[in-house]
C-alpha cells in the first residue's frame, strides 16, 4: 500500500490526473514521500504512453487510408500527452535552452532558467522538439501503425528513467529552497533506481515482441545517447542538475527513442540485411 501511495503521488506531481479529496488525504505528502515516488516515474510513463497510443491509434484508424493519417495522428497524440502532463517536461526543456543559450556564465544561466518568460532559445528548442516528435511519429506510422505505437510505449516509459540517473550522479544546483525538484536534491537510492528500471521492463519487452531486436536496440541506444549528451552539457555548464534539466533530459531522450526506431526501420535495416 505504501508503494501505491508513492505511485499516486508521482501521478499527482507529474500529470494533470486529479488525485484529490479523500484519495489525496489517503495518499498524503511529505518531501520524503516525493523522494520515494521517484522510483515510479517510469510508471507515470505508462499512463502517458497509454493516452498517446490511444489517441494515435484512434486517429490513424479513423482517417485511414488517407496518406496524411499518420501525420494527423502524430499531432493528435502529442496534444494528448501535453494535456495530460500539462507540458511539464516541455517547459523544462524551454527553460534549459534559454539558460544555456542565453549566457555562458553559470550563475546567470541559472537565473535565466528561473524566469517564467520564454526566450528565443527556449522557443526554438520547444518548436524543434515538437516538430521532431511529430515528424518521426508520422514517419513511423507511415511504415506501420504497430511501429508508431511501439515507439510511443517504449519512448514515454524509458525517457522517464534516464533523468533519475542525473539525480543519482550529479548534485542539485540552483535555488534549492524554491525548486520544485527540492525533494530530489538528495541522491536517489540504488534500490529506487532499480525499481524504476523494473517499470521499464514490460514496455520494452512488448516493443521487442511487437517489432524486432534491432528496433528496440537502436531506439534504446539513441535514447541513451541523447540523455547522455544532455547530462554532459548540464554537468559542464551547470556542474549539476535542476528540475528543468530533468525535464529537458526526458524530452530529448524521448525524441532520441523515436529517431532510433525510425533508423531501425530504414537505413539500419538495410545495412543489417546487407
Dist. CA 101–CA 248, nearest whole Å: 14
pTM of the model: 0.94
Q: Could you report the average pLDDT of every consecutive run of 10 residues in the chain (274 residues)? A: 90 92 88 86 97 98 95 98 96 96 93 92 97 98 96 98 94 68 67 94 96 94 98 95 95 98 83 61
Indicate the number of domains in the chain.
1
DSSP H helical segments within the chain, as ranges?
2-14, 21-27, 31-37, 41-63, 69-85, 88-102, 106-114, 120-143, 145-158, 162-169, 190-210, 213-238, 243-265, 267-273
Dist. CA 96–CA 246, nearest whole Å: 10
Task: Please write the tens of the pLDDT for every residue from 210-223.
Answer: 998 999 999 999 99
Domain hosting 260: range is: 2-273
Nearest to 224 by CA among 189, 264, 204, 254: 254
Q: Positive or negative CA dihedral for 19, 21, 25, 26?
A: negative
SS3 of residue 172 by DSSP: strand
Amino acid at each position: 500500500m505504501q508503494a501505491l501511495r508513492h505511485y499516486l503521488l508521482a501521478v499527482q506531481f507529474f500529470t494533470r490526473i486529479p488525485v484529490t479529496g479523500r484519495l489525496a488525504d489517503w495518499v498524503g505528502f511529505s518531501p520524503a514521500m516525493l523522494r520515494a515516488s521517484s522510483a515510479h516515474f517510469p510508471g507515470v510513463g505508462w499512463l502517458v504512453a497509454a493516452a498517446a497510443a490511444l489517441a494515435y491509434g484512434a486517429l490513424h484508424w479513423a482517417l485511414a487510408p488517407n496518406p496524411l493519417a499518420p501525420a494527423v495522428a502524430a499531432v493528435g497524440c502529442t496534444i494528448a500527452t501535453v494535456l495530460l502532463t500539462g507540458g511539464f517536461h516541455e517547459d523544462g526543456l524551454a527553460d534549459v535552452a534559454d539558460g544555456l543559450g542565453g549566457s555562458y556564465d553559470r550563475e546567470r544561466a541559472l537565473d535565466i532558467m528561473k524566469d517564467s518568460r520564454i526566450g528565443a532559445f527556449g522557443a526554438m528548442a520547444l518548436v524543434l522538439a515538437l516538430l521532431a516528435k511529430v515528424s518521426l511519429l508520422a514517419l513511423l506510422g507511415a511504415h506501420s501503425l504497430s511501429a508508431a505505437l511501439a515507439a510511443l510505449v517504449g519512448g514515454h516509459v524509458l525517457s522517464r528513467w534516464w533523468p533519475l540517473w542525473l539525480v543519482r550522479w550529479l548534485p542539485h544546483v540552483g535555488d534549492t529552497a524554491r525548486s520544485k525538484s527540492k525533494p530530489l536534491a538528495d541522491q536517489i537510492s540504488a534500490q529506487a533506481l532499480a525499481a524504476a528500471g523494473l517499470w521499464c521492463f514490460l514496455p520494452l519487452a512488448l516493443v521487442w515482441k511487437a517489432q524486432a531486436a534491432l528496433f528496440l536496440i537502436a531506439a534504446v541506444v539513441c535514447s541513451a545517447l541523447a540523455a547522455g549528451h544532455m547530462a554532459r552539457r548540464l554537468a559542464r555548464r551547470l556542474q549539476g542538475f535542476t528540475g528543468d534539466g530533468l525535464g529537458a533530459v526526458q524530452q530529448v531522450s524521448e525524441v532520441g527513442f523515436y529517431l532510433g526506431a525510425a533508423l531501425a526501420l530504414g537505413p539500419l535495416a538495410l545495412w543489417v540485411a546487407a
